[in-house]
Amino acid sequence: MGFTFKVMRLILVSAFLVIVPFEDLDMLCAQTIRLTEETDKQALLEFKAHVSETNRVVLDSWNDSLPLCMWTGVKCGSKHRRVTGVDLGGLKLTGIVSPFIGNLSFLRSLNLADNFFRGAIPFEVGNLFRLQYLNMSNNFLGGALPVVLSNCSSLSSLDLSSNHFEQGVPAEFGSLSKLVLLSLGRNNLTGKFPASLGNLTSLQMLDIIYNQMDGEIPGSIARLKQMVFFRIALNKFTGVFPLPIYNMSSLVFLSITGNSFSGSLRPDFGSLLPNLQILYMGINNFTGSIPESLSNISNLQQLDIPSNHLNGKIPLSFGRLRNLLRLGLNNNSLGSYSSGDLDFLGAMANCTRLQYLNVGMNKLGGQLPMSIANLSTQLTELSLGINFISGSIPHGIANLVRLQALDMGENLLTGKLPPSFGELSELRKVLLYSNQLSGEIPSSLGNITWLTYLYLINNTFEGSIPSSLGRCSYLLDLNLGTNKLNGSIPHELMELPSLIILNVSFNSLVGPLREDVGNLKFLLGLDVSYNKLSGQIPSSLGNCLSLEYLWLQGNSFVGSIPDMRRLTGLRFLDLSKNNLSGTIPEYLANFSKLQNLNLSMNNFEGAVPTEGIFGNTSAMSIAGNINLCGGIPSLLLEPCSVELPRKHSSSVKKIIAICVSSGIASLLLLSLSVFYICRYKQRTKNVRGNNNENDRSLSPVKSVYEKISYDELYKITGGFSSSNLIGSGNFGAVYKGFLGSKNKIVAIKVLNLSKRGAAKSFMAECEALGGVRHRNLVKLVTVCSSVDSEGNGFRALVYEFMANGNLDMWLHPEESDGPSRRALTLLERLNIAIDVASALVYLHTYCHSPIAHCDLKPSNILLDEDLTAHVSDFGLARLLLKFDRESFHTKFSSAAVRGTIGYAAPEYGMGGHPSIVGDVYSFGILLLEMFTGKRPTNELFVDGLTLHGFTKSAILQERRAVDITDQSILCGADDPVLGVEMVECLSQLVYQVGVRCSEESPVDRISMAEALRKLVSVRDTFIVAVRPFR
């Protein structure tokens, strides 16, 4: 049959040659080439037609007047003039990918990376059997990964990272036998790791970072002998360290950070993977000791294993790693509180290229060795904080000439701060808080002109504050509180142009608060409390228009309260325990943001206002001012209208009343004095660290909250009825109930203790919220730590109920099961953003211990009936400064910082420890989501970086802000002029704040205080701009 067919074909060809003249054959071939070229041309024109008109200008060359092979981004083969390559990467094109792309049958390379394409990858791409290179990364493509891509059997490189693909990785991808690179990171992929990928024996690079894949890594990947780059970080993989990885002896880059791997690492780890240069294994549950064999990996440059449960000593043999640039072992249980724990530092002197060393938050003891001065001169960051290190800081510390960040806080260091410290001219951040350092603060610190953060709080420094600090013109945060400093506050500090926080509280400073304090235009918080300052409160404070936190209590200020009516942003004002007199200014009642006002223990007289904060006795105190009158009835003050006495008996009664009142006031003054003294002593005691085991184990539940019983919670929730269920979270369910003892509706969060981390979440919330009170923080009413009716452990947290749900419901009402909600207005969004920023500034700066929330996102922002925002869910929160060391490690060492994909700071994925700058990043992403209406993960964006980059790119282009702004905001603009003003406000102000907060590098982010100040300015600017149109 086959022979017959060949004969027939020969006959037909011969007949064709007879019929067609030879001279016409060239013409026919040319027409065939033109036809096939026309097919490619039409396919590309169809592709162009699917690109949005606003971006189509970059494809202007795609027209009939230019030859196809001269079009932008188009490459043709030299023989047949067919399109073999299309490179449109980075052109910021929007629209969808046309299915006609599948007609480019000679296509070998297609690059659409770094654009704004959305929708699904067309199935027709599977027709491109010659395709070798496909890159669609950094777009907004979604849906399932197309199985038909497995038809592109010539593929050697497939990059679909940073999109919005869902579901699992198709098992059929395992048939792409020529694949060398497979990058699917930063999507929303779920499911298991396909065992079929073990068939890709040519694969050298596999990247699936930042997805939601789970389960164990299959043994089949042991066949991937050519693997050089293997990154599966930030997923939900479980099991022991993937044993097949030990077979990948060619590996250069390995990252498994941010999963749930457990067990110990093999002792011969380094011998099995001798070519590693980058090794990231942080934020897992690894136990046991660090393998000594890691020191055999001679080319190792970065070793990061933070936030695990590793114990034992840090190997001395690490000193053999001559190429090491980065060593991160923080937040483990390394060391044994003993003298040999720091021996490794001497060996590390051989690592002459080392730039980053972080062994903070461990159990390292012993004296700080002199050999620390012999570390690499390339070192830029050194962190030994939150350990048990004693001894003094050596003079040789000045050898670390490139040091930018030094953290030795929360240790047992003693002695003086060496003057040579001032030779570290590149230092930006110095954290030496909560030690026992003494002597004078070296004036040489003034030579560190780049210094931005100086934390010397909770030591025993004495002498005066060096005036040379006034030369640190970039200083943002100066914290010298709780020491033994004396003398006056140098006027040079009042010339620091960027100062945002100044804390010199709990010292013995004397003299007046200088009038030139008004020069600190950007000052957000001023704390000079509990010193020996005297004189009048300077009127120039009224010029510090950014001021929100003002603590002057516990001094000897006299005179009346100066005119501060322009400080309308004040949130906390404490003037208590001074000798102030005169009347209480009426304008304080107009401070709508004021959350706490303390005027107690002074000599004020006259009428107490009744409006504003003066109507809330829980937020205001005037005790100990016996000459006050009026006010709201609950203050029980005498009326201000006093009649002349008509009878002797009435005069006697008045005298008796005055004596009794004076006696009560004196008794109250004495009681409060004793209370403050005890509180101060206890605070100092806690700061210095207490090694008593009982103190360390003291539960915040017992010491802060009055507990409620399981039976009462069972009753008020109707037996935890589903009809009272109002939500669920990572660690349990939330019910609504009426708490009779408090006469209020509450939300009860019942922890699922069978879920890993739930108990630690309970302790974290209690610890974080135990000592904080802020208008924009959810209030923890009470707690329950008991057993249920069956004798099982029971934990519950009872919060104030928020009538308007969470912010996520308002930003994405189409995804909410609740009642339909109107769109938030621009002003409402600004107010909510300012509320959240205010809460974070308070947590970061004004708590007794700075607190990092670690999981800021819209669903954790609750809204009350007035749409005032309250930050909630502190299950991942970290107290960063004055917590007890031992309890910190036992409570948090297994609860590594993960946060939520899209909102968590990038450094958490690389093993970074909890920090306030991580919260700043999350706030930036939250802010961008509030005004674009786009999630960083679920709809258009993959992660924080993509949303950040998208917004940053847009605001750099004229009139692009309107294109990325939530349409529901635009629809709310009744007037065209208002719309223009709004777009201008967004593009130049709001988006800029969000972008600057969400920079990838922590050092590039602005502070939360600066973000808050800018947002308040945005709101004020907007209100002024729209007022003429209302």
Binding residues for ATP: 749
Active-site choice (304, 477, 835, 855): 855
Residue found by looking up tokens 């400093």 in the block = 485
The β-bridge relationship of strands 477-479 and 501-503 is parallel
CB 388 within 8 A of CB 368: no
CB atoms within 10 A of CB 650: 12
855 is a catalytic site residue: yes
* Measured CA angle at 513 (ends 508, 518), to 5 deg: 145
Residue found by looking up tokens 């390339």 in the block = 378
- DSSP for 852-902, please give it: E-----GGGEEE-TT--EEE---TT-EE-SSS-HHHHHHHHTTS-----TT
E strand or H helix at 831: helix 826-841
CB 914 within 8 A of CB 893: no
Q: What is the 3-state secondary structure (H, E, C) of 574-605?
A: ECCCCEEEECCCHHHHHCCCCCEEECCCCEEE
Distance (Å, rounded) from C-alpha 535 to C-alpha 519?
19
Query: b/e for 984-999, b at 16 or more Cβ within 10 A?
Result: bbbbebbbbbbbbbbb
Distance (Å, rounded) from C-alpha 522 to C-alpha 1009?
9
Which of 899, 896, 897, 879 has its CA nearest to residue 887?
Answer: 879
CB atoms within 10 A of CB 606: 13
CB 333 within 8 A of CB 940: no
Q: Which residues are annotated as a binding site?
A: 749
- 87 forms beta bridges with 111
Query: What are the CA-CA distances from residue 91 to residues 59, 88, 187 (Å)?
Result: 9, 6, 22
What stretches of 133-222 adopt beta strand conformation (E)? 133-135, 140-144, 157-159, 164-166, 181-183, 205-207, 214-215
CB-count exposure of residue 659 (10 Å: 0-12, 13-18, 19+): exposed
- Residue 785 phi/psi, 5° resolution? -130, 95
Residue found by looking up tokens 């910190």 in the block = 888
Q: If DSSP codes are grouped into helix, strand and coil, which group holds residue 40?
A: helix
Q: Which residues neighbour 427 within 8 Å (Cβ) at sequence distance 6 or greater?
A: 403, 404, 405, 406, 448, 450, 451
Give the tokens for residue 632. Answer: 């709201």
CB atoms within 10 A of CB 102: 17
Distance (Å, rounded) from C-alpha 937 to C-alpha 140?
10
- 629 forms beta bridges with 607
Residue found by looking up tokens 């149109």 in the block = 1029
* Measured CA angle at 661 (ends 660, 663), to 5 deg: 65
Q: DSSP code of 423?
A: G
Query: What are the CA-CA distances from residue 454 to residues 103, 299, 431, 447, 481 (Å)?
Result: 63, 36, 6, 13, 11
Q: Which residues neighbour 641 within 8 Å (Cβ) at sequence distance 6 or greater?
A: none
Give the tokens for residue 522. Answer: 């950007």
Q: What is the 3-state secondary structure (H, E, C) of 436-463?
A: EEEEECCHHHHHCCCCCEEECCCCEEEE
CB 514 within 8 A of CB 491: yes
Q: Which residues neighbour 400 within 8 Å (Cβ) at sequence distance 6 or greater?
A: 373, 375, 376, 377, 379, 382, 424
Distance (Å, rounded) from C-alpha 908 to C-alpha 910?
5
Q: List, by residue number, the catalytic residues.
A: 855
